[in-house]
């Protein structure tokens, strides 16, 4: 699975409508996130540091469709960021395993 793969967005936010809204090639990908309660975007991009390493960056924005208590909004934003971070770590692990199999 790759960052621009629609399945990657579904893995991060399985309960939300998640659509790739902008494919930016080497600049990354942007998803539009949507459900009955929230709307938002997520951007993920990879920056190559050397031939065998890169840095993953993510920006997540989640906003309620109607007024919510601040604590609930903060909790949902934190949850969305945590899911994105977990998916990026999972992708990193998959890529590292693939590299070690290819090298081995």
Assigned domain for 91 exists: yes
Which residue range(s) make up the domain with 22?
Answer: 6-103
- Residue of higher predicted confidence among 60 and 3: 60
Assigned domain for 15 exists: yes
Assigned domain for 37 exists: yes
Assigned domain for 28 exists: yes
Q: What is the pLDDT of residues 48-86, one digit of tens each?
A: 788 777 787 888 888 888 888 989 888 988 888 888 888
- Residue of higher predicted confidence among 53 and 103: 53
Does pLDDT of 93 surpass 70? yes
| Number of structural domains found in the chain | 1
Assigned domain for 1 exists: no
Those residues with Cβ within 8 angstroms of residue 42's Cβ, 6 or more apart along the chain or in another chain = 9, 12, 13, 30, 31, 33, 58, 59, 60, 61, 80, 84
Q: What is the pLDDT of residues 21-44, one digit of tens each?
A: 888 876 778 889 888 888 988 888
Assigned domain for 71 exists: yes
Assigned domain for 65 exists: yes
Q: Helices (DSSP H) in the chain: which residue ranges?
A: 6-12, 70-103
pTM (predicted TM-score): 0.66
Assigned domain for 12 exists: yes
C-alpha–C-alpha distance, residues 62 and 57, integer Å: 17
């Amino acid at each position: 699975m790759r960052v621009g793969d629609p399945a990657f967005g579904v893995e991060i936010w399985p309960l939300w409508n998640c659509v790739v809204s902008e494919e930016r090639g080497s600049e990354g990908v942007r998803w539009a996130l949507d459900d009955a309660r929230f709307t938002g975007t997520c951007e993920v991009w990879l920056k190559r540091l050397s031939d065998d390493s890169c840095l993953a960056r993510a920006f997540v924005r989640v906003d309620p469709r109607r007024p919510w208590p601040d604590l609930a909004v903060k909790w949902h934003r934190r949850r969305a960021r945590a899911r994105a971070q977990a998916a990026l770590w999972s992708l990193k692990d998959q890529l590292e395993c693939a590299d070690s199999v290819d090298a081995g």
